[in-house]
Amino acid sequence: MSKRIETFLSYVVIMLGALLASFSVVCILIPNDAIDYGTAGIAILISKLNGWNLSACVAAVFAPFLILGFIILGKGFGLRAIWGSLVYTAGISVFERVPFELNTEHFLAVVFGGAILGAGLSLILKSGGCIDGSEIFANIVVSKISGKTGKSFSMTYLLIGFNACVYAAVFLLLNRNAALMSLLVYVVASSIINHFTDRYEAIKQVTIITKEENANALAAAIKEEMNKTCTTMDSFGMISGRNKMLICYVNYFELPKIKELIGKSGGAFTTISTVDEIVK
C-alpha cells in the first residue's frame, strides 16, 4: 500500500510541475519574446513560424521521444514521462485561454519565468518523470554508448549541443533578441534544476552495502535488467559484521530502477553521489 501511495504522490507532483512549466511558457516567456529549451523550444519555434496551434505542435514533437522512452528506458519511466507531457500539453492549451499579463521589463519577466519553469521541471525530475524529449534522447544515446563500451558517460555535452542547435535556429529563423532571451531562460532554469536535483545530467555513483548472501544476486539483477556492472568489495560493519560493498555508476533517469532492485534485494544501506569525471 505504501508503494502505491508513493507512486500516486509522484504522479501528483509531476502534474504540479508540468502545470507550473506550462504556465511559465505560455503566460510569461512567450509574451516576453522568449521560448522554452529542448524539444519544447522546437515545438514553439514551429508554432511561431507556421502559425500552428502550440499545444498540437508540442504533442507532435514530443510523441516520438515519448514512444522511444517507453520502449527503451522502461515502463516506469515511460509512464511518468507520458503523464508529465500530457499534463504539460493540456496546461498549454488551457493557459492560452487565460488572460494574464506580467507588466514589467522583459529581462525581469524572463528571469522570473525561467525560475518558475526550473521549479516545475525540478518537481518532475525529482519524481522520476520527464517532459522534454532532449533529455530522453540524451538518455537513450548515453545508455546505448555505455552498453557497447562498458563506460559511463554524462548527458551534459549532448544536452548542451542539442540546445545550442535550438538557439541557433531561433537566432536565424526568428530574431536575435528571442535567441538571447531564450538563452537566459536556459541559464536560469538550469541553475534552479541543478540546485534541487544535484546536477541531474551528471553521472551518479551508487554505493550499496548489503549482506554477502544478497550481494551476488543484486549484482546479477543490475547486470541483467540494467546492463550495468558493479565493483564488489569486502566490508565490515561494527554492528552488522561482514558485508559486501557494491559500487555502480548510472545516470539520473536510471536511479528509480536501481532503487527498485535494491528494495527487492532485502536490507541494504545505500548512498548516491554525483561524479564529476571518471578516468580510466
Instruction: Give the end of a domain, one of 197, 212, 232.
Output: 197
pLDDT one-digit tens code per residue, 148-183:
776 767 788 888 888 899 999 999 998 888 888 989
* The three cell numbers locating residue 152: 559511463
Does 165 share its domain with 245? Answer: no
- Close Cβ partners of 238 (under 8 Å, ≥ 6 residues apart): none
With helix as H, strand as E and coil as C, how does 151-218 read?
CCCCCHHHHHHHHHHHHHHHHHHCCHHHHHHHHHHHHHHHHHHHHHHCCCCCEEEEEEEECHHHHHHH
Q: What is the CATH number of the domain that holds 248?
A: 3.30.70.120
| Higher pLDDT, residue 170 or 3 | 170
Q: What is the mean pLDDT of residues 14-27?
A: 94
Identify the pLDDT of residue 237.
76
CB–CB of 127/80 below 8 Å?
yes
pLDDT tens digit sequence for 211-236: 887 888 898 888 888 888 888 888 88
197-210 pLDDT, tens digit each: 877 778 889 999 98
The residue ranking higher by pLDDT, 214 or 192, is 192
Q: Residue 207: what pLDDT?
A: 93
Place of cell 558517460: 153
Residue 1 confidence (pLDDT) above 60: no
Domain of residue 226, residue span = 203-275
DSSP percent split of the chain into helix, strand, coil, nearest 5: 70, 10, 20
Q: Is residue 280 part of a domain?
A: no
Summary mean pLDDT of the chain: 86
The model's pTM: 0.83
Q: What is the pLDDT of residues 32-80, one digit of tens each?
A: 888 888 899 999 999 999 889 999 999 999 999 888 888 877 788 888 8
Return the percentage of the chain with pLDDT > 70, whole number: 97
Whether residue 246 sits in one domain with residue 180: no
107 in the same domain as 71: yes
Provide, rounded to the nearest whole percent, the portion of the chain with pLDDT above 90: 34
The verdict on residue 192 lying in a domain is yes
Would you state the pLDDT for residue 272? Answer: 92
Residues 57 and 109 in one domain: yes
The pLDDT of residue 150 is: 65
Across 1-14, average pLDDT: 84
Mean pLDDT (whole number) for 10-30: 93
Give the pLDDT score at 256: 81
pLDDT of residue 270: 92
Map residue 82 onto helix, strand or coil.
helix
Q: Which position has the higher pLDDT, 143 or 108?
A: 108
Same domain, 130 and 269: no
Domain co-membership, 157 together with 231: no
